[in-house]
Chains A and B, each alone.
Chain A
Amino acid sequence: MKNDKLKIGFYELTGCAGDCLLVTDCEMELIDIFNAVDIQSFAMVMSNNTDGELDLALVEGSVTTEKEIEELKDIRKRAKAVVAFGTCAVLGGVQARFIDPKEWEKNLKIVYGNTEFTHTKPVQSKPIDAFIDVDFYLPGCPVSKEQFLNFFTRILKGNPPEHYPNPVCVTCKYNENDCLLKKGELCLGPLTADGCGSICPNHNIPCNGCWGPVEGANVTSEFYLLKEKGFSVDEIKKKMANFSGTKITDYFQQLDKEPK
């Protein structure tokens, strides 16, 4: 019988592997997922992984070594479509937070000293679209089960995936939380893409921005609002850069143009 199932691969670069772990955590759907597609590679859950042609590659983690750059380029060559899977792949993640390359080199030195890198050479952490074209972005730390299953099902049925254009505040209000920003906390809800179910604010913890910036976010207004509430420029920038990594630099450049 001809196998016409979609050929899919899950790949992990540098990160906590939380996104792939989330897939395995879809307990009710796991068998259906494995039945619905032909999984060629998924190092976390199976052996005998093959490196053939793929319809879809889901790449988790950011790029932090030269070897990973090669690996990533190879995946791109083999796959018809590539998904940046999780915040590290989409934005670079926490490991990309040191936005100044000099600062990165300094930190590398502090951590590794004079160690010689023999296996591969480290590079400053970057999102995967710094090296290859990406077809779909699915941010999350880790990605949400609901968004992943919806994405997966749509692709499976040949329909384009949905966009999630809302900030965290929308779900946060659905969950009837008192606004932490209004209360004077450094909450990044209005700037951050939704999908987490506002899990931090639900527990009275301000949003850390782990889904990355939402389209149309008004960073300038939030920045000045936080300043007015008594946070230092450094504190605000640090928190914003935490997860949004290298991609938030655009915003900072934009902010630097604004009057102080």
Chain B
Amino acid sequence: MRIFKLKKEYLFPFLESISEGADLWAPTKKPEGKHSFQIIKDFSQIDLDYTRTILPPRKIFLPPSFNMFKATEKKYEADFSHVTEKIIFGLHPCDIHAILIMDQFYKHHYNDPYYIEARNNTLILGHSCWPDEHCLCKSAGTDIIEEGYDLFFSELEKEYLVWIGSSKGDDLIRRKPDFFDENITDKDIQKYIEWREEKDKAFSVSIDFKNMPDLMELKYQDPLWEKLGQACLACGSCSNVCPTCNCYNINDKPFLTENASHISRCWDACTLESYSEVAGGENFREARSLRLKLYYTHKLQAYISKYGKPACVGCGRCIETCPVDINIKTVAQSLDNETVDAFWDRFAKEVTK
């Protein structure tokens, strides 16, 4: 792997030089304090001092709602207007791992051109991070990233170590060769190693993911699911903020004057009431507990069985989002017989009093 050193003051000039002809997406701070990936018009918008964004970066590839076709009776015209040249800067390792999972999913069996085209036209520029009390990436094995990025910026005190992950990434560096220093000193290496060791110690929670497939199987009828179902607000937020959720719905939006429609695609969530309802009103998962089982089967069991790693990358978004504390941490801990402090547990005691 090729590694360079970049002085911090060169970062924005470098980004400016490479983002010609492309949308540059980066984390920005919202007025209420949370972060969000946005298209950058002005470099002062970029805020790298963030732990996680509200929505995961998949929104950049497949927006919450977009048109797949303009359809008339005789012809379907594919609409790929969501596919533009993009650079995403500031992605943390967990989010890059999630993109790797998406890459695999959208190429499985059938190719999804709407994802693949968007992905092929996007450069991934990662950035190092520091865990907070919700980060589970170390447990998920996603705290370190070895592939999936074009460039990765590890932040040291005054400079970045820039890891080149692809040939395209190497091309980027060549646009400003003067910015990048090949001489990485022993001191730099030592600083990086120290940082790694410090970061490793900074995690406050952990989940044993490798036990989860068995526990999901053995505890499929556990009363835990009823408790979760009672409290779940069925708001769909856990899916919408999850970087590896991929469900969607298709709608036909007819034009008023022309005999034509937009066929649009929007995110769906398996925790929503209507998710498994078929025509005629039969709902295969009317109970909220069944829908939660599906969600957690996907995250904690199915993917591990299929690909040897969980479909959870430990980003902590569900922990930060669910109003009733149903999240990967509380569910996994409960499956593992740990006591948790969660609204759903207090509520279950309240209603069975």
Question: Could you tell me which A residues sit within 8 Å of B by CB distance?
Answer: 29, 32-33, 36, 149-150, 152-154, 156-157, 159, 162-163, 165-167, 169-170, 173-174, 176-179, 181-182, 189-190, 204, 214-218, 220-222, 224-225, 228, 258-259
Contacts and interface: CB of A to CB of B under 8 A. Distances in A.
Nearest to A182: B323
Interface stretch (B79-87, B98-106, B193-201, B266-274): B266-274
Interface in B233-277: 233-237, 240-241, 251, 253-257, 259, 267, 269, 272-274, 277
Nearest to A163: B274
B54 A176 contact: yes
Nearest to B273: A216
Contacts of A216: 234, 273-274
B113 interface: no
Interface stretch (B127-135, B152-160, B177-185, B342-350): B342-350
Contacts of A220: 230, 351
Interface stretch (B7-15, B31-39, B166-174, B218-226): B31-39
B256 A173 contact: no
A169 B235 contact: yes
A178 B30 contact: yes
Chain B interface size, as a band, is: 35 or more
Interface in B19-68: 30-34, 36, 53-55, 64-65
Interface in B265-324: 267, 269, 272-274, 277, 288, 320-324
Nearest to B229: A218
Contacts of A162: 251
A33 B256 contact: yes
Nearest to B283: A216
B328 interface: no
Contacts of A215: 273-274
Contact of B257 (A36, A204, A222, A259): A36
A173 B347 contact: no
B233 A221 contact: yes
Instruction: Determine which residue in A159, A162, A218 has the highest number of CB atoms from chain B within 10 A of its CB, and name it.
Output: A218
Contacts of B259: 157
B256 A176 contact: no
Given A156-B256, A165-B272, A170-B269, A221 B232 contact: yes
6 contacts: A173-B240, A177-B54, A182-B323, A189-B235, A215-B274, A225-B233
B162 interface: no
Contacts of A152: 256
B353 to A, nearest CB: 5
A169 B55 CA distance: 13
Given A33-B256, A152-B256, A153-B254, A174 B230 contact: no
A153 B256 contact: yes
A174 B64 contact: yes
B91 interface: no
A224 B255 contact: no
Contact of A173 (B31, B237, B253, B255): B237
Contacts, number: 117
Contacts of B34: 176, 178
Nearest to A204: B32
B265 to A, nearest CB: 13
Contacts of A225: 233, 323-324, 343, 347
Nearest to B33: A178
Nearest to B232: A218
Contact of A181 (B254, B274, B323): B323
A254 B240 CA distance: 30
Contact of B353 (A150, A169, A174, A259): A259
B351 A258 contact: yes
B274 A166 contact: yes
Nearest to B286: A216
Nearest to A216: B273
B45 to A, nearest CB: 15
B233 A218 contact: yes
B234 A228 contact: no
Contacts of A174: 55, 64-65, 240, 267
A37 to B, nearest CB: 11
A157 B254 CA distance: 9
A258 B350 CA distance: 10
Contacts of A36: 256-257
B254 A218 contact: no
B67 to A, nearest CB: 14
A218 B288 CA distance: 9
B291 to A, nearest CB: 10
A149 B261 CA distance: 13
Contacts of A170: 235-236, 240, 267, 269, 272
Contacts of B288: 218
